[in-house]
Structure 1
Amino acid sequence: MITYIAFLRGVNVSGRHKIQMAGLKELLSKQKLEDVKTYIQSGNVVFRSELENSKELENLIAKAIQNHFNFDVPVIVMTISKLKELLDRNPFKTDDEHLQKQNYFVLLKEVPSVEAVEKLSKETFKTEDFLVAIDCIFLKCTAGYGKAKLNNNLIERKLKVEATTRNYRTMSKMLELSV
């Protein structure tokens, strides 16, 4: 059994794509995912599975949500080691709790084109620093994510890939729940 973390994009945001976490937990348990745990209402899930393919798990979860709730939700699944790696690679990593609140991870569902990455990497934003990696955009929002120009929707548009954003606290908590 492998422990995985799933991040759902856009659930329970602005009254759209409402999913109660208890209902999600029950639904995923019926998909033969074990030890399912959720964290807050924004679609963060830890589970165990015998399947060894993250993409297969993403499709399984997305299809189950589509069939049960009747809407599409992009899903990104990763292993504990992948989550640890992202936290370790964060170029804005700090022990300062105040500064940690400025750190965000834009998780990319697919690898964007080299051209799109190069184009985005050349852009600048007044209150944001960022680094585009193959699987994640590491984002530091000095004025807070709510005021960020470089938000999830802009990133999806610029890179032409689905993505979901999580703050440092959520990423750390998911790691904690997974071990």
Structure 2
Amino acid sequence: MEHIILLRGVTPNGKNAIPKMSYLVDILTEAGFQHVRTYIQSGNIILESDLDLEEIREHVHTLIKEKIGADLKMVIKNKNDFEKIVHENPFKEGYLHDRVHVILYQGFIQSLPLEKLKADYGEEEICVGDHCLYL
């Protein structure tokens, strides 16, 4: 199955830097992941694996920490998850699509302290989806 891994906190230099995305592709491919691709220097990875999400997370995290030195958190979704996120977007007509933000969370979005989040964002319109928050 194809998975999209969004590495959190990647920086251009410092302790969370990934010097070359091509090196990241190499180490993930050598570890047995298939069809590994990255998107510019963002830390976004697409790969194929039959492992479950937690196994992928542990394996990718360990590889990056041991081979590159970055201790990064990540969100892993698959193509179907992203299709659902787009389809469930509550901000349709009348909204500027380039102003809609999506907040992804690896766990159940409903487990977050959503009332506190709504209070912290003031006038921002927040909608809770099945897979993410929409702002």
Instruction: Give yes or no for the alignment of 1:36 onto 2:36.
Output: yes
Change in Cα spacing, 1:6 to 1:114, as seen in structure 2 (3 Å) is closer
- Conservation of the 8 A alpha-carbon contact between 1:121 and 1:131: no
May I ask how many residue pairs the two structures share in their alignment?
133
C-alpha distance in 2 between matches for 1:104 and 1:115: 17
AA aligned opposite 1:73: L
Change in Cα spacing, 1:130 to 1:54, as seen in structure 2 (3 Å) is same
C-alpha distance in 1 between matches for 2:29 and 2:94: 36
- The residue correspondences of 1:108-147 to structure 2 (distance < 5 A) are 108-111=105-108, 114=111, 116-126=113-123, 128-133=124-129, 135-139=131-135
C-alpha distance in 1 between matches for 2:115 and 2:104: 18
**% of aligned pairs identical?**
26
Which residue is equivalent to 1:107?
A: 104
The answer for unaligned runs of 5 or more in structure 1 is 140-179
TM normalised by structure 1 equals 0.64
TM normalised by structure 2 equals 0.82
Q: How far has the Cα of 1:50 moved from its partner?
A: 2.2
Q: How far has the Cα of 1:119 moved from its partner?
A: 2.6
Q: How far has the Cα of 1:112 moved from its partner?
A: 5.6
Q: How far has the Cα of 1:136 moved from its partner?
A: 1.6
Change in Cα spacing, 1:116 to 1:67, as seen in structure 2 (3 Å) is same
Change in Cα spacing, 1:69 to 1:105, as seen in structure 2 (3 Å) is same
- The residue correspondences of 1:55-66 to structure 2 (distance < 5 A) are 55-66=54-65
Q: How far has the Cα of 1:93 moved from its partner?
A: 4.2
Q: How far has the Cα of 1:114 moved from its partner?
A: 4.7
Q: How far has the Cα of 1:138 moved from its partner?
A: 1.3
AA aligned opposite 1:50: D
- Conservation of the 8 A alpha-carbon contact between 1:33 and 1:48: yes
Which residue is equivalent to 2:50?
A: 50
Q: How far has the Cα of 1:67 moved from its partner?
A: 0.9
Which residue is equivalent to 1:27?
A: 27
SS of 1:46's partner is: strand
Cα deviation, 1:66-116, whole Å, max 9, x if unaligned, reads: 1111231011111211111111112124698xx222122211122367571
Cα deviation, 1:11-63, whole Å, max 9, x if unaligned, reads: 125x3411121111112112211111111211111111122x11221111111
C-alpha distance in 1 between matches for 2:88 and 2:64: 31
SS of 1:110's partner is: coil
The answer for unaligned runs of 5 or more in structure 2 is none
C-alpha distance in 2 between matches for 1:18 and 1:133: 32
Q: How far has the Cα of 1:124 moved from its partner?
A: 4.0
